A and B are shown apart, each in its own frame.
Chain A
Amino acid sequence: MELLTHILGAIATVILAFVVGMSYGGIVRKITARVHNRIGPPWYQNFIDAFKLYGKTTAIHHGWMQIMGPAFLMVSSVVTLMFIPVLTNGGWFPNLNFEGDLIFLLYLMVFGPLGMALGAGQTGNPNSAIGVTRGLSQMVGFEIPWVMALVALMIQFDTTSITGLMEAQAQSGTWNMFSSPFAFIAAVLAMLGMFRYSPFDIVGAPTELASGPVSENGGKYLFTMMSSGSIFAFVKLTLYVDIFMGGADNLVILLLKTFSIYMIPVLYGIVSPRYRTEQAIRFFWGWPLFFGVLALIYASIF
């Protein structure tokens, strides 16, 4: 019985993440359009796109790794989702999250992109490989301030578990974004790179690299990537909300919080052009790194 609720809860979580992630994607398209003074597609446009992609035939493959790539990505997204506390009290979403660990999560998150990178590699398209190398380079860039922020939190609250951090916030009554502001700033700056909106959309630059790693993937491949990308976006947003904004008690608050934090990279991205790869890396080793160091100092002193 308990197993059944676990499985049902897991399925519900995946569906929730999928729906929310997809809708956010659509809303972002709408917002971008409004900023451009356009009308823009309806908010559910991403669902239509996904459905259409699923309906397309997938007639070719370049080898089994190409097929495995999207599967890896999906696995990674779903498994990561299983470790994120969606709501503070568990609620309908009883996942593995109470045994989760932040460092574990960081490494688990890499699993998918690496598999995806392998899949993109097998297609043999040079653009894919170039996109992957850019993505990995950029990851090295933003991971440093991001980890600094996390380590600062770990020091401050003597725990590495996400639930531990959430409890600490519940006890003190303030969100971490106020009690450790430098860590928050560093993490948010790292987030710009993590979500790959402009100016950090160097991976899938459509005009430059023909959409980079996905350039050989259409149809069901692209559907799998798109939906796992949406789930992953939800995962990352929930993680930010959990560790910096005290988590959420119910779904409405969760949506509010995730959406508001999502707007940071989106709005920053709409008005930005694109960086070159080394500029992007150097960006993260500038101010974000500085704030990361400040966060570490702040955490070890207080």
Chain B
Amino acid sequence: MEMIYLIFIIFLGGAVATYLLGKINGVLRDITFLATLIVPAVLFYTQVSIGQTVDFSMSGMNLQWGITDFGYIFAYIVLGLGVLAGIYAVAAMKGKENLGFFYSNYILSIMAMMGILFSRDLVSFFIFWEIMTWSSYLMVVFSGKDVQKVGIKYFIFSAVGAYAMLMAIVTTYSLTGSMMIDSLVTAYPGFDFSMQLLIPILLLIGFGVKSAMMPLHVWASGSYSHAPMAYTAVFSGALSKMGIYGMIIVIVSLVSQIPEGHWFREVIAWLGGITAVGGTLWAVAQDDAKKLLAYSSVAQLGYIIVGVGVGTPLAMLAALFMAVMHGLFKGTLFMAVGAIEKQTGTTNFTEVTGLIRKMPLTFLASLMSIIALAGIPPLGGFIGKWMLYESLVGSDHYMLVIVVFFSSTAAFLYCYKFLFGFFLGQEEPEWAHVKEAPAMMVVPMIIMAIGSFILGVFPGLILNPIDAGLQELGYASTQGRYWEMSMLFNEWGDKVVLQPILYTIIAVFVFFFVFVVAKNFKKTRYVSTKDISSSGEIPKAHENLTFSRGFFQPFLRAVEPLMKHQIDPLYTGFGRGMEAIFDFVRRIYTGNGQTYALYAIIFAVLLLIFKNQLFGL
């Protein structure tokens, strides 16, 4: 039996089994859940080889499944994150209601994502896409809070994206007569210009929704923060990457027919840039960790879109590397927030403070991820950012460099806010009871944090497959030109050697660690955070001295003009307008047979009058 089928059968069977077992036995359910995630992952990495395909036909349509080099990179994200977040989820969701439903949805999401990566034809691509959307929608409304506001928003945007995609698929079918992605790519240059434009734009809408590209991002902050955190790690880390995957696999293989520097590419790149800046600024303004991370995801996906839009080999390399990194660190951060939510019951910075001594491991994982997110060497985030800047400078996108740089500098603000808000600052007696999260939650976080460190030092580990994937898309090999296992070159041949840097940092760090930390830590005595110099006052135990409200107020005041324009009201206005139209339409359908007859007659008359124009008769 083909291994690919087996994987999907395990996924489907596991989803059903977990759902049913959820009604019977908790432990059995958990074990089935984990097994359903781990077994296919193992099978995938050991048994499935790149290029292997299976064909079958369904109601007269030829479908093909197979994994490409390129899909393989994303499979790393999906399965790796899926398994780790799954382990985390078992601990995090313990004691919640309706768990069988949650788990089977989780499995379905993972399966759908794998399906998207396997699909070589547009039909199964679309089907899996819909499964993914549905399962994630059910997760967003899982908590049952604010379904009206958040769930509907996500649903409407997904639906719009799906219809756009469906339209593109149908158009493709009518033009080429085939459903294969490859045939679309090969036939694409032969289309006339309007089609050449229409198909990518429709697909871009479809994928842009999932990857939260501005102006299609408005669903993201609400949905990311409403889904259970264990799922949001996958949602933001992997599921949004499917948008990127689609964008790359379809748009790039299509748009690569469009010459580099074409306005269409520029539009995508600039949309990415605006997404990055907007997402970052809004993230800075948030007081809720989930919302902050959600907006930050939007911003990070913006960088990736910039890379995809620019589309030089280096930029693609950067975009894909950042996609992997984003899965790692954002997954970790969402998990950390989940851990904090579980232990304290809230995720608001203005409420929780001073957890560092209570949850040191969570802090460590968050710290590493934040360093990666901020793009500070030697962690992995830097590699992606570096390559992105180099590619932007090298391909003459000067203003875009500044925009991206602005956004990633402003990102330090929310990075600090995240760490300070939760872990640092005053330790309030209110949170004195808080303990470290259970091991099953901490271990995945730590593993992923270490992963982002390893990728920072040995970027080749992941750049190798990315390179193979890019070659498959028709790019020249970047190996030896841009990177080696521990070395990075830029467009002009200047290089950054990572290993000596690492050695230096470690050596110096160890030195000062021994010198300052070990020596002082023993000699000095711990005093509580109430023992601070506050003009000679002695703060009482209940006096809250935490600075968390209006955290970046001066900054926000300075950037106020940029943040005045929000896209949300526009959509709301649009929705209102639509409502008015529908209202009007409802008034047309009066329910009176006579009126309908009148409409029919008017329609026929109009048809007769304009038949020449309409049918060209």
A interface residues, Cβ below 8 angstroms from B: 58-65, 67-68, 70-71, 74-75, 78-79, 82, 96, 99-101, 103-104, 107-108, 110-111, 114, 117-118, 121-126, 129-130, 132-134, 136-137, 139-141, 143-144, 147-148, 151, 154-155, 158-161, 164, 210, 215-216, 220, 224, 276-278, 281-282, 285, 292, 296, 300
In the bound complex, do residue A137 and residue B558 qualify as a contact, i.e. CB atoms below 8 Å apart? yes
Known: A136-B413, A137-B413, A144-B405. A281 touches B555 (CB 8 A): yes
Summarize B's interface: helix, strand, loop or mixed: helix
Report the minimal beta-carbon distance from A105 to chain B, rounded to whole angstroms: 10
User: B376 contacts which chain A residues (CB < 8 A)?
Assistant: 107-108, 110-111, 114
Is B177 engaged at the interface, CB distance under 8 Å to the other chain?
Answer: no
Q: How distant is the Cα of A216 from the Cα of B226 in the complex, in angstroms?
A: 39
Q: Are the C-beta atoms of A61 and B554 separated by less than 8 Å?
A: no
Residues of A with C-beta under 8 A to B354: 124
**Which residues 387-406 of B have a CB within 8 angstroms of A?**
389-390, 393, 396, 398-399, 401-402, 405-406
- Least Cβ distance of A247 to chain B in Å? 16
* In contact, A110 and B412 (Cβ under 8 angstroms): yes
Q: A62-B531, A71-B515, A278-B554 are in contact. List 12 more A-B contacts (CB 8 A).
A: A61-B526, A67-B517, A68-B517, A104-B386, A107-B377, A114-B416, A121-B419, A121-B424, A126-B547, A133-B554, A136-B552, A160-B390
Provide the bound-state CA to CA distance between A96 and B496, in Å: 10
Q: Which residues of chain B have C-beta atoms less than 8 A from A58's C-beta?
A: 520, 523-524
B409 to A60, Cβ gap below 8 A? no
Tell whether B615 is near chain A: CB-to-CB under 8 Å: no
B147 lies within 8 A of chain A by Cβ:
no
What residues of B have a CB within 8 angstroms of the CB of A96 in the complex?
Answer: 497, 500-501, 504
Residues of A within 8 A of B603 (CB): none
Closest to B525 in A: A60
Residues of chain B lying within 8 A (CB to CB) of residue A110: 374, 376, 412
In the complex, whether B382 has a CB less than 8 A from a CB of chain A is yes
Chain B residue contacts of A104, Cβ below 8 A: 377, 382, 386, 496
Q: Known contacts A118-B419, A124-B545; is A216 also within 8 Å of B494 by CB?
A: no
Whether A62 contacts B393 in the complex (CB less than 8 A), given A126-B545, A160-B490, comes out as no
B357 & A63 in contact (Cβ 8 Å cutoff): yes
State whether the Cβ of B186 lies closer than 8 Å to any Cβ in chain A.
Answer: no
A88 to B551, CA, bound (A): 44
Chain A, residue nearest B404 (CB): A147
B521 within 8 A of A: yes
Interface assignment of B198: CB less than 8 Å from any CB of chain A: no
Q: How many angstroms from the CA of A154 to the CA of B393 in the assembled complex?
A: 8
B557 within 8 A of partner (CB): yes
Q: Quick check: A151 and B494 within 8 Å, CB to CB?
A: no
A95's nearest neighbour on chain B, judged by CB, is B504
Per-residue A-contact encoding for B405-420, CB less than 8 Å = 1, 0 else: 1100110110110011
Q: Are B526 and A278 in contact (CB under 8 A)?
A: no
With contacts A103-B390, A125-B534, A148-B402 taken as known, whether A224 is within 8 angstroms of B377 at the C-beta atoms is no
List the A side residues contacting B496 at CB < 8 Å.
99-101, 104
Task: Select from chain B the residue with minimum beta-carbon distance to A218.
Answer: B533
> How many Å from the CB of A90 to the closest CB on chain B?
15
B558 near A103 with CB under 8 A, answer no
- A and B contact pairs by CB, cutoff 8 A, 18 listed: A75-B505, A79-B504, A79-B505, A99-B497, A104-B382, A107-B385, A114-B412, A125-B545, A126-B547, A130-B547, A133-B551, A136-B413, A136-B552, A136-B555, A137-B554, A155-B396, A282-B558, A300-B398
For B, the interface residue count at a CB cutoff of 8 angstroms equals 76
Q: Knowing A104-B386, A129-B547, A300-B396 are in contact, say whether A59-B524 is a contact too (CB < 8 A).
A: yes
A75 to B490, CA, bound (A): 26
Contact yes or no, B520 A220, CB < 8 A: yes
Judging by beta carbons under 8 Å apart, are B406 and A63 in contact? Answer: no
Chain B residue at minimal CB-CB distance from A123: B532
Residue B135, interface by CB 8 Å: no
User: Is B427's CB within 8 Å of the partner chain A?
Assistant: yes
B552 x A147 contact (CB < 8 A): no
Question: Which partner residue on chain A sits nearest B545 by CB separation?
Answer: A126
Binary interface profile of B, 319-353, with partner A (CB < 8 Å = 1, else 0)? Answer: 00000000000000000000000000000000000
Name the B residues within 8 Å of A124 (CB-CB): 354, 424-427, 529-530, 532, 545-546
Q: Do the beta carbons of A216 and B533 come within 8 Å of each other?
A: yes
Contact across chains for A210 and B533 when beta carbons are under 8 A apart: yes
Closest A residue to B406 by beta carbon equals A144
The stretch among B216-224, B244-252, B445-453, B506-514 that forms the contact with chain A is B506-514
Cβ A151 vs Cβ B377 within 8 A: no
Q: Please state if B424 and A118 are interface contacts (CB–CB under 8 Å).
A: yes
Flag if B531 contacts A60 (CB, 8 Å).
yes
Closest chain-A Cβ to B262's Cβ sits at a distance in Å of: 19
Q: Which residue of B385, B424, B504 contacts A122 across the interface (Cβ within 8 Å)?
A: B424
Residue of chain B at shortest CB distance from A73:
B512
How far apart are A115's CB and chain B's nearest CB, in angstroms?
Answer: 9
B597 adjacent to chain A (CB < 8 Å): no
A261 CA to B504 CA, complexed, in Å: 29
Closest beta carbon of chain B to A116's beta carbon, Å:
11
- Shortest C-beta distance, A96 to chain B (Å), equals 6
Pair A143/B405 contact, Cβ less than 8 Å: yes
B residues in contact with A278, CB < 8 Å = 554-555, 557-558
Known: A125-B534, A160-B490. A133 touches B555 (CB 8 A): yes
Contacts of B311 in A (CB 8 A): none
Closest beta carbon of chain B to A84's beta carbon, Å? 13
> In the complex, which residue of chain A has the Cβ closest to the Cβ of B360?
A64
Q: Are B555 and A277 interface neighbours, CB within 8 A? A: yes
Contact B398 A296 (CB under 8 A): yes
Q: Residue A125 contacts which of B504, B515, B533 (CB distance < 8 angstroms)?
A: B533
Q: Which residues of A contact B490 (CB under 8 A)?
A: 101, 160
8 closest A-B pairs by beta carbon, nearest first, are: A124-B529, A121-B424, A277-B554, A137-B555, A161-B494, A281-B558, A278-B558, A126-B547
B527 located at the interface, meaning its Cβ lies under 8 Å from any Cβ of chain A in the complex: yes
In the complex, whether B492 has a CB less than 8 A from a CB of chain A is: yes
A227 to B61, CA, bound (A): 72
The answer on a CB contact under 8 Å between B555 and A147 is no
* Whole-angstrom distance between the Cβ of B495 and the nearest chain A Cβ: 6
Are A147 and B509 in touch, CB under 8 angstroms? Answer: no
Does B200 make an interface contact (CB < 8 A)?
no
- Point out the residues of chain A lying under 8 angstroms from B617, CB to CB: none
